[in-house]
Structure 1
Amino acid sequence: MALPDFLVIGVPKAGTTALHAALTRHPELFLPSVKEPKFFLSSGPPPARGGPGDAQTYQEHLWRQRDYEALFDPAPTDTLRGEATPFYLYDLDAQNRIRRLVPKARLVVLLRNPVDRAHSNWTHLWAAGLESERDFVRACALEGARRDAGWADFWHYVSLGLYGEQLAHLYGLFPREQVLVLRYRDLRDSPERTLDEVCAFLGVATGRLSAVPSENVTPYVADTPVNAVLRAALRTGGRIGARFPVPVRQTVRGPLLSALQRQSGGRPKLTPAQRRAVLPYFLEDIARLEELTGLPYDDWRIIGDEPDVID
C-alpha cells in the first residue's frame, strides 16, 4: 500500500505550509503536490454544508483511500512518503484513524503562541473575504455559536490553540518517540537547525535543507466600504459556490479575490488590548502543555508582539 511514513499534523497558521515546501526539496523525502489532502479528517464523505466557504473546502477532501494512496504512487523507491494536514492534531477522531491505519507513522507538530495563531487564522479568513466579523476579539467569542452551527474547524480560533488537550490525546495513542513537537518561532528564527531536527527525527540525511520558503502569507486587506462589498460577494459565493463546477467557481471568485487583495501594506497588528482579552482562553491549557511536555511556554503569557514571517 502507498501510505505515508510520516505526517505533519499540526497546527494551522504555524508554518506547516512552509515546512511542507522545505521538505519537498529533500532527495530522500516525497511529499505530494497536494498539501492538506485531509484524508484522516473523515471516514466517509465530509459534510456538505457549514460556514462561508466550507462546502468548497469539503470538496477538496480526499476521503476515498484509493485516491489518497494514489498521491504517493509517484514516490521514488527508497524515499519516505509524507503529507501535511495541520488539522489532524486538532481532530481527535483523525488521530484515532491515523493510529488504526498507519500506527508506525512519525508525526511532526508545529506549535505557535495560541493568541498569535488565532489572530493569524482570523486574518486569513478576513483577507479571503469569508470572515464577516471585523473585530478579532468578538470573532473569538462567536466560536461557540459557529461550532454549534457546524462551521468547519478553521473557524475554531480558540479551540485550535488548545494544544495541551490535543497532545494529551495523541500521547495516549502513540509513543512519544514517534512524535516531534517543534515551535513556530524556531522554524522562523533558526530554520537550518530546525530542519535538521526534523530530518534527524525522520531518519534522513541532515545538512540538506537550509531555508524555509515564505509560504501562504496572508495579504493586507483594509476595512473599507468597497472591500465590504467585495467580502459580501465572496461570502455569498462561498454559500452557493458548491453548486457549480470548480472552473466556474474559480472564474468568478478569482477577480473578486484579486480586487479585495489589491492593496499592499502591513497586515493588521494584534494590539496589547486584544491580546489581553484573548489570552485567558488559553492559560489553563498552556499550563497543561507545560506539564505534559516538561517544557516552558512562559513567553506565551506575555502581552507582547510576535512578528509574522511565515505561515
Structure 2
Amino acid sequence: MPLPDFLVIGVPKAGTTALHAALARHPDLFLPAVKEPKFFLSEGPPPARGGPGDAQTYQEHVWRRADYEALFAPAPAHALLGEATPFYLYDLDAQNRIKRLLPKARLVVLLRNPVDRAHSNWTHLWAAGLEPERDFVRACALEEPRREAGWAHFWHYVSQGHYGAQLAHLFGLFSRDQILLLRYRDLREDPVPTLDRVCEFLGVRPGLLDVVPSQNVTPFVADTQVNAALRAALRTGGRIGHHFPVPVRQVFRGPLLTALQRRKGGRRPLSPAERKAVLPYFVDDIALLEEVTGLSYDDWRTAGLEPDVIDDGG
C-alpha cells in the first residue's frame, strides 16, 4: 500500500493548512482530504486523557497503519504523495517514527515568530471556548502543569516554539537536502515564489500554483459574562463529548460556537508588554536555531506582530 513521499511537519499556526490546500491543487501531487492525520504521533492508540477537547481530538487520529495507507489509495499512479501534520516537528518521537518508516521522505517546515505563533495558538483555543485562562501571559506560565497533566501538544504554547531544539534533532536523523525550511512571512508576503520553491524541492513542475487559498482568521471573542458562560458550556462539552457520536456533538457544539464567535473582526493585537513578558521563553532557542540552521532570525527578537492572514488551522 502507498505511503507518503513528503510531509509538511511544522509548525502549528504558521500556514500549514493553507500550504496543504495549495499543494493539493497541483496535478503532480496528492494530499488526502484528511489534513493532519497525526499518524506518527503515537505507536498505537492515542492517549485517553488530556485538556479540554483533547479526547475528541484523539478520536480523530488516524493511528492504524491500514487506515493511514488507505488515505493515499485514491492517488493517481504518477502523483507524489504527501500529508501535513504540523505537530511532527515538535514531537521528537514522531520524528523517529518518520525516520524508521519513511527514511527518504522530503520534509517541509514552516516557521513563524514563536511569540506570535504562541499568541495565535492561545487565541485559537480561546475563540473555540476551550482555553480557560483569559490572560495570554498567564496561559504560557501554566504550560508545565498542563504538560504534566497530559494536555495535548496544541496546549504547549511555549515548547512548540522551541524550533532550534526540534531542528537539531531532525538534522540528526535526516540529511539537510531532505528538509526545506520556510518562514510564515514568505508564504504570506510572497506566496507564488514560495510555492515554486516547494514544488522545486519536491521535484514537481513549478509555475502551476498561483495562489495560497485564504483561510478564516480566528474571530475576536471578548471577555464578557455571556461569553464566559458559553466558554464554560463548550469546555464541559469538551470533557464529555467523546462519549457521544460526532453528529450529536455537532448539534450541541455548533450553536454555542456560533454564539461565542458572533462578533466579527480579527483577534486583539499582542501588546508590547505581553511580547516583552513572553519573549524570554524563546531567546536562547532562537540562538540555537541560528546555530543549527546557519540563518538569521534576529528579527524575532524585536519584531512586531505577524497577523493571522492565511491560516486558521492547527
TM normalised by structure 1 equals: 0.99
Number of the residue aligned with 2:178 = 178
Alignment of 1:36-47 (within 5 A): 36-47=36-47
Number of the residue aligned with 1:115 = 115
Number of the residue aligned with 1:257 = 257
Deviation at 1:303, TM superposition (A): 5.0
1-side partners of 2:102 and 2:20: how far apart? 19
Deviation at 1:265, TM superposition (A): 1.8
1:233 equivalent to 2:233? Answer yes
1-side partners of 2:164 and 2:220: how far apart? 32
Number of the residue aligned with 1:145 = 145
Q: Is the 8 A contact 1:3 1:72 kept in 2?
A: yes
1:278 equivalent to 2:278? Answer yes
1-side partners of 2:203 and 2:217: how far apart? 30
Deviation at 1:255, TM superposition (A): 0.8
Cα distance per residue 1:129-156 (max 9 Å; x no partner): 0001010000000000100100000000
* Identity within the alignment, %: 80
Q: Is the 8 A contact 2:217 2:266 kept in 1?
A: no
Q: Which amino acid aligns with 1:39?
A: F
Equivalent residue of 2:292, what SS? Answer: helix
Alignment of 1:1-311 (within 5 A): 1-302=1-302, 304-311=304-311
| Number of positions where the alignment pairs a residue of Structure 1 with one of Structure 2 | 311
Q: Which amino acid aligns with 1:97?
A: R
Cα distance per residue 1:13-68 (max 9 Å; x no partner): 00000000000110000000000000000000001110000000000001000000
2-side partners of 1:28 and 1:203: how far apart? 10
Equivalent residue of 2:299, what SS? Answer: helix
1-side partners of 2:134 and 2:251: how far apart? 27
2-side partners of 1:183 and 1:170: how far apart? 17
2-side partners of 1:98 and 1:141: how far apart? 31
2-side partners of 1:232 and 1:96: how far apart? 38
2-side partners of 1:213 and 1:230: how far apart? 31
Equivalent residue of 1:205, what SS? Answer: coil
Q: Which amino acid aligns with 1:298?
A: D
2-side partners of 1:219 and 1:35: how far apart? 21
TM normalised by structure 2 equals: 0.98
2-side partners of 1:115 and 1:275: how far apart? 7
Q: Is the 8 A contact 1:276 1:303 kept in 2?
A: no
1-side partners of 2:33 and 2:306: how far apart? 30
2-side partners of 1:123 and 1:94: how far apart? 26
Stretches of structure 1 lacking an aligned partner (at least 5 in a row): none
Stretches of structure 2 lacking an aligned partner (at least 5 in a row): none
2-side partners of 1:184 and 1:35: how far apart? 18
Q: Which amino acid aligns with 1:270?
A: L
Deviation at 1:219, TM superposition (A): 1.4
